[in-house]
Amino acid sequence: MSLIDMKQLSAQQKLDLIAELCDSLDAADVPLSPAWKAELERRNADFEEMRGQAEPWEQVLTALQADRH
């Protein structure tokens, strides 16, 4: 597909093409900057720290509904 062809696509078609291109990438082929790598490591550490402390959605919803009454 040429650039000229792409310019004739609708907005939705362009978004669909972007999604297909992103899906076709292998995560190993996408380099991470040091800043992004550090951020991912920070978020993973936060996740691991909170593991087991989360409440099921149904329990949260029930508590919220009880607070409304």
Predicted confidence band of residue 33 (pLDDT cuts 50, 70, 90): very high
Give the model's pLDDT for residue 65: 94
Nearest to 31 by CA among 42, 18, 40, 44: 40
Cα 17 to chain centroid, rounded:
18
d(CA 45, CA 30): 22
Predicted confidence band of residue 5 (pLDDT cuts 50, 70, 90): confident
Segment 37-47 shows an average pLDDT of: 95
- pLDDT 10s digits, 9-30: 999 999 999 999 999 999 888 8
For the chain, give the percent of residues with pLDDT over 90: 70
Residue 6 in contact with residue 17, Cβ under 8 Å?
yes
Number of H helices, E strands in the chain: 4, 0
